[in-house]
Structure 1
Amino acid sequence: MEAEVLIVGYGPVGQLLSVLLAQRGRRVTVVERWPEPYRHPRAVGFDSEAARILASAGIGDSLDKFTEPARDHAWQNTKGETLIDHEVADRGHCTWPEALSAYQPALESALIEHGATLPPLRILRGYEAVGLADDGDRVTLTVVGPDGAKTDLTALWVVGCDGANSLVRTGVGTTMTDLDFSYDWLICDVRLHEHREFRPNNLEICDPARPRTAVSAGPGHRRYEFMRVPTDDPDHFGTVESAWELLRLFDVTPDNGVLDRHAVYTFQARWAERWRAGRMLLAGDSAHLMPPFAGQGMCSGFRDAANLAWKLDLVLGGHAAPTLLDTYTTERRAHVRHAVEMSVGLGRVVCMADPAAAADRDAAMLAARKRNIGPSAARRSVVKPLVDGLLRKDGQGRPAPYAGQAGPQWRVRRAGTTGLFDDVVGTGFVLLYAEDVVPALDARRLKFLDGIRTRLVRMVPADTPTADLAPRDALDVEDRYLPYLSEMDALAVLVRPDFYLFGIARDEDELHSLVDDLATQLNPPPAPS
């Protein structure tokens, strides 16, 4: 067979997943029914972790061409009173800004262009997937090409990145959990003729007469959104005339801006219970849909791709049993559920159309603001630790200390090059330590770590003389990694390729156990018959 992995759908998640697999040398064929890329944005931003994932896919140097820091976010009521405001940090836990606004068509172009440089990646545009079978030792995907002829494609695995009406999800046969939260919103993408300074840069107006949003959609682009209310004529609401009428609420007119796109979108809040059946897997919108209020729709799809790519690679390379792929559902479903529930919770505040209920909401939120009461940064965050899956566990089956946390990224220096850790050291499994632990690892454990391409990295102080540096050393130029290890009282930290911590070791015995535990979880012994 020509491909190891078939991907159905070549939107941003399919693009990212195909690149992450092809970079690892995996033969990938992507089937996309549309002959040309969609040239209008759907999502308008992503977070620090998503930026790190995109950089790991080889487009980090391109991000500043179509992104800008989100800067700030505020919610106001009808009177213009601020209910909530939040300054977005210029540096998130991955050094990239905590949140970035992005122009999605340019993002997709960057992924497509990079994918075109990878020989193992083949893209079939204008091919519609119409049938799928799991044959036990392979999958067969039936497609209809541009000439109307049917063709069967085979591979070892298939991943459905084929959206809300996913053919692959039908094959998986999963149930969906639906939170029954659905509203129609008119989406308007605008380019203004002249630059404006927006403060706040991202604004939710919680007006029961017309809930609405104005946010950055990347450099030179703005996104305006308006909820359909009961008094709207459904036939008129989605028209270009309606769009311009509503845009006047933000002083946007045909005289000062260009309406690139308008469309009515129905938000949904649902996720698949099962993301794998046999050799079929789901990612992105085929596995979950969420309202936009937490800005996590595309981010969640990127996390899917980052989680799945390295696991598929290990299975294809014979370094892990196929059961490893069951942890994909376990880990990603929990993350997605949190993101969907957070999005719905925020949406219930924004979408409140009853004036009396909205007045009560405003009073409560203004009182909380006056008393400086609000959710902590941890509660606001959608970056939650993993609580199950491929993690170091304690005796009760719970994550061991620090296991499952999102690993940070700072700047380091090695061999005369200074930059972000991933750019300087590389990606994949990382064993990070301050004291040289390599002599404590025997040949068997070192061979295992080498087999899964683990990078062994000793962090040393930034002022370490060059003559004292070993090949595995990296200078902690920001003095962040060494305190990080010290705060955890960690001799070594084992980081997964998707940047989440598998676990830590506080001494040599724990280090041996940590490495052995990863080896066992990747290739568990057969269950007793």
Structure 2
Amino acid sequence: MDPVIIVGAGPVGLTLALALARQEVPCVVLDEGQGKDEPRPARTVVLHHDTIALTERLTGQPLAEAGFRWAGWRSMRRRQVMREVTFDTGPAPLHITQHVLTGALRAALADQPLVRIATDSRLDAVEQEPSGVTAHTRGPQGTWWRGSFLVGCDGPRSTVRKLQDIRFPGRTAVERHAVAALRTELPWTEEALLHRLPPWRSSGPSAGEITARPLPDGVWRLDWLLPPGKDLVTPELLVDRIRETLSGWGGGEAPSYELLDTGVHTVHHRLARRWRAGRVFLAGDSAHLLGALGTQGLDEGLRDADNLAWKLALAWHHGPHEALLDSYQTERRTTVAGRLRAADQVLPLLRGGGGLRSYVLGASRGHDSLLTDGHLGRGALGAPGAYADSPLAPPRLGGEVPVDTAPGALVTDVRVTAEDGTFVRLRDRLGRGALLVVLIAPGTGVWERKHWVSAGIMPRLAAAVTALPYRAELLVAEHYPGAAAHTVLLVRPDGHLVTALGGVRPADLYEAAETVLGGPEKAAARVGVS
């Protein structure tokens, strides 16, 4: 079987390659560069709990050591603190420079024999056949590559998207930000700050907002929202902004600082009409652009990779299942479209300024909450998408019971006992090319596995798991939010809950598993396949 061809060696393409390799699928990554990423301290990303878990699981290293987990979040309007959030117990966002993230992904791929990265390889042609894909790259030596599938992770100007004649409609320059990375001391430490209408700025559309986000080694990334238009951001203007901002936060006296990097970040909102064309798929910035109001486009790109990887792996090992492969576009495009709609609805409220809105009681606090949701990965603007209306969602089952996680949403990361008796985190078992069946059995954590593995309902459940139409791993958890004893959870390889059943119900479990694999099209051929 030919490898999967991945076009683009950014974070999304590298993540997809690692995710496929972990499921024993060979890949070729076409990198038009030299295989290295230029260090740019001002080019950073914010990852949230699910994408942190994904990247750490794939790289095998704690990225928190390479980035910075915020201790808290503070929102201000003029001189007033509007909201403070601490991350003493909940998951904190991780702020990391993009070149450090891609470096960690490249390092993990260097030890992966199933992945080949071809540098100096710029795609210029794609041909499809029923049995596979052929891609041509130009470079020092023009090369033809043969693959089973091809995924375009090649950014906003995607060659893959253009070669497939896929439209990319949307809005240009929704927001613009001047960006600076500098080493300095601010009046607060380890907290990110959103400052709207700072008092040292004049009122009106140019008053803007400033975001300060910490990085390791005393480095901060500062973003200034620019007024609409295409005014040139000169070095002199940026230095003035830095001094003005540091003086304002320092009570009139600016601390010393070391300017490390600058840039202008322009946010576009676009969504590809199609994310699949036969054996060709789009992911990341080639499929969507978003990022206004603090949202992070890379989060969505990594979720694309996680969603697509297990479906391509199943198709690679057992033959294409059209309904399963089509579900990638249905699930991910619907989620991103909803995120874009939410941002488009909120933008006029937050950026319109003036008028009666600014005098409505509580309006400012409500606006601040919306912005906080975007920055912290919450709510309609930032929370991970749920696939409740997915074509892979099973119909209402007779044995279905409620838990605190809705069907289609990401499962809560609880401690589980694996089949070898070791204690692991539930999310550590994701992305291995298997469905997860989790039995909630209070008390099992204090007994050795040998004492309960053959007791109670375990033998019957183990037999039901063995009979499923695809390989599944049986795990046991002492508790799960909202779940009663003997609840059985069925979880997709990307961590989204399929269903929760009250006890061992082999027929319901089988039907749910068959549906989440795309229906009965080729289920018979998959029985017993590992």
Structure 1 length normalisation: TM-score? 0.80
- Report the counterpart of residue 54 of structure 1 in structure 2: 55
User: What does 1:243-258 correspond to in 2, within 5 Å?
Assistant: 243-251=238-246, 256-258=256-258
Mark the runs of 5 or more structure 2 residues left unpaired by the alignment.
Answer: 199-204, 248-252, 442-455, 523-530
Quick one: which amino acid aligns to residue 485 of structure 1? A
Q: Which one of 512, 522, 527 corresponds to residue 517 of structure 2?
A: 522
Name the amino acid aligned to 1:403: P
Question: 2:25 matched to 1:26?
Answer: yes
Equivalent-residue separation in structure 1 for 2:380 and 2:138 (angstroms): 47
Could you tell me whether the CA contact under 8 Å between 2:394 and 2:516 is conserved in 1?
Answer: no
Is the 2:49–2:93 contact (alpha carbons within 8 Å) kept by the matching residues of 1?
yes
1:189 equivalent in alignment to 2:207: no
**Counterpart pick for 1:499 among 488, 495, 498:** 495
Q: Distance in 2 between matches of 1:142 and 1:495?
A: 39
1:13 maps to 12
Say whether 1:127 aligns with 2:121: yes
Other structure's SS at 1:234 match = coil
In structure 2, the CA distance between the partners of 1:350 and 1:295, relative to structure 1 (3 Å rule), is same
Structure 2 vs 1, CA of residues 127 and 331 (structure 1 numbering), >3 Å: closer, same or farther? Answer: same
Given the superposition, is the C-alpha separation of residues 246 and 373 from structure 1 closer, same or farther in structure 2, using an over 3 Å criterion?
Answer: closer
Name the SS for the 1:126 alignment partner. coil
The answer as to whether partners of 2:59 and 2:104 remain within 8 angstroms in 1 is no
Taking the aligned partners of 1:169 and 1:213, their CA distance within structure 2 comes to: 35
Aligned-partner Cα distance in 1 for 2:320–2:86: 39
Please give the alpha-carbon distance, in whole angstroms, between the structure 2 residues aligned to 1:205 and 1:112: 38
Aligned residue number for residue 242 of structure 1: 237
1:193-227: CA deviations, max 9, x gaps?
Answer: x5763485221424632313223253233221223
Q: CA deviation at 1:120?
A: 0.5
Counterpart for residue 421 of structure 1:
426
Match of 2:447 in 1: none
Displacement of 1:26: 1.2
Matches within 5 A, 1:379-418: 382-394=383-395, 402-412=406-416, 418=423
Tell me, yes or no, if the aligned pair for 2:246 and 2:255 is still in contact at 8 Å.
no
3-state SS of paired residue (2:39): coil
What residue number does 1:284 align with?
284
* Cα separation, 2, equivalents of 1:316 and 1:484: 37
Distance 2:349 2:243 in 1: 24
1:222 and 2:220 aligned: yes
- Return the offset for 1:490: 6.5
Deviation at 1:101, TM superposition (A): 2.0
Q: 1:201 aligns with which of 192, 203, 206?
A: 192
In the alignment, what sits opposite 1:332? 332
Secondary structure at 1:306 match in 2: helix
Which is worse superposed, 307-316 or 30-39? 30-39
Partner of 1:70: 70
Does residue 162 (structure 1) correspond to residue 154 (structure 2)? The answer is: yes
SS of the aligned residue for 2:483 comes to helix
Paired amino acid for 1:405: A
> How far does the alpha carbon of each residue in 1:371-412 deviate from its partner, in whole angstroms, 9 at most, with x for none?
x9989975675234213225433369xx99632021010234
* Bigger mean CA offset, 10-19 vs 427-436: 427-436
Please say if 1:273 is aligned against 2:269: no
CA–CA distance in structure 2, aligned partners of residues 98 and 364 of structure 1: 32
State the secondary structure of the residue aligned to 1:485: coil
Contact 1:191/1:258 (<8 A) preserved: yes
Read off the aligned partner of 1:211 and give its amino acid letter: G
Q: Distance in 2 between matches of 1:204 and 1:437?
A: 56
How many residue pairs get aligned? The number is 481
| DSSP-derived class of the 1:431 partner | strand
CA RMSD of aligned residues (A): 3.4
Judged with a 3 Å threshold, the aligned counterparts in structure 2 of structure 1 residues 199 and 526 are, in CA distance, closer, same or farther, namely closer
Q: Where does the alignment leave 5 or more consecutive residues of structure 1 unmatched?
A: 460-475
Provide the C-alpha distance between the structure 1 equivalents of 2:430 and 2:267, rounded to a whole number of angstroms: 41
User: How far apart are the structure 1 equivalents of 2:466 and 2:500?
Assistant: 17
Aligned to 1:45: 46
> Residue 470 of structure 1 aligns with which residue?
none
Q: Which residue of 2 aligns with 1:210?
A: 207
Maintained 8 Å contact 2:45/2:296:
no
Residue 88 of structure 1 and its aligned partner are, at CA, apart by 4.8
8 A Cα contact 2:19 2:431, kept in partner: no
Report SS of the residue matched to 1:183: strand
Structure 1 residues 21, 90: closer, same or farther in 2, change over 3 A?
Answer: farther
CA contact (8 A) 1:418 1:424 kept: no
TM-score of the superposed pair, with normalisation by structure 2: 0.80
Query: Hey, what's the Cα distance between the residues in 2 that align with 1:80 and 1:350?
Result: 18
Offset of residue 339 of structure 1 = 2.6
Answer whether contact 1:283 1:305 (CA < 8 A) is retained. yes
Deviation at 1:255, TM superposition (A): 7.6
- 1:283/1:100 CA distance change after superposition, 3 Å: same
Structure 1: distance between partners of 2:109 and 2:67 = 20
8 A contact 1:138–1:155 mirrored in 2:
yes
C-alpha separation between the residues in 2 aligned to 1:332 and 1:153? 28
Would the aligned equivalents of 1:275 and 1:287 in 2 still touch at CA under 8 Å? yes
Counterpart in 2 of 1:260?
260
Deviation at 1:173, TM superposition (A): 3.3
Pick the aligned partner of 1:448 from 468, 473, 483.
Answer: 468
Aligned match of 1:472: none
Deviations 1:9-46 (A, max 9, x none): 11111111111111222111101112131322534311
Aligned counterparts of 2:169 and 2:401: Cα–Cα separation in 1: 29
Mapped contact 1:394–1:400 kept (Cα < 8 A): no
Q: Shift of residue 288 of structure 1?
A: 0.8
Whether the aligned pair in 2 keeps the contact of 1:67 and 1:219 (CA below 8 Å) is: yes
Change (3 A) 1:14 1:89: same
